[in-house]
Structure 1
Amino acid sequence: MKHLTRITFNPGVMGGKPCIRGLRVTVGMLIGLIASGHSTEEILEAYPYLEEEDLREALTYAAWRVEEVDIPLIVQ
């Protein structure tokens, strides 16, 4: 996976959820808007401080997270 420069994590911003460029805009919120049928143009109009590349990185991050495998640790 390419290095994502626009996805940030900060415990002091939105509880540490993945956000866009340190803003209070979570990846989950953007993915939800896209899944609800909102177009890129509609989202950028509603959130003028976002850029098209922010949406692309949010989708890239979400796709990566869906494919990630969690392996439970077995402590003996």
Structure 2
Amino acid sequence: MAAPRLRPSIPTEIVSDPSVMDGVPVVAGTRIPAETIVAYLRAGHSAEDVFEDYPSLPLDGIDAVAAWAEATYGPGWRRRTLL
């Protein structure tokens, strides 16, 4: 019996496509806006809270949003308030 092959992991990305949510940045493969997850994290919610409310979020979705937020807003993105 052959050992099971591990599928290569493709990291989740934040994408913006005009045909999906009018181009709002979303977690790839979902219709979950990145800003929604950013708001959860800024409010101090845990990963468990996020996954409870968004069970379709990929396991590395929070990491992808955090990387996107840092690239978009800078290192202090968690402290900023949304206007």
**TM tier, smaller:** 0.7 to 0.9
Indicate the RMSD between aligned Cα atoms, in angstroms.
Answer: 1.6
Q: Which runs of 5+ in 2 are unaligned?
A: 1-10, 75-83
1:1-76 alignment, distance < 5 Å: 5-67=12-74
Q: Which amino acid aligns with 2:21?
A: M
Q: What corresponds to 2:6 in structure 1?
A: none
- Please give the alpha-carbon distance, in whole angstroms, between the structure 2 residues aligned to 1:59 and 1:34: 9
Identify the structure with bigger relative contact order (alpha carbons < 8 Å, sequence gap 6+).
Answer: 2
Q: Which amino acid aligns with 1:30?
A: I
Q: Is the 8 A contact 1:9 1:22 kept in 2?
A: no
SS at match of 1:15: helix
Structure in which a larger fraction of residues adopt helix: 1
Q: Which runs of 5+ in 1 are unaligned?
A: 68-76
Q: Is the 8 A contact 2:12 2:60 kept in 1?
A: no
Q: Is the 8 A contact 1:10 1:22 kept in 2?
A: no
Aligned residues: 64
Percent identity reads 28
Q: Is the 8 A contact 2:12 2:61 kept in 1?
A: no
- Please give the alpha-carbon distance, in whole angstroms, between the structure 1 residues aligned to 2:21 and 2:29: 10
- Please give the alpha-carbon distance, in whole angstroms, between the structure 2 residues aligned to 1:49 and 1:5: 12
Q: Which amino acid aligns with 1:46?
A: D
Q: Which amino acid aligns with 1:56?
A: D
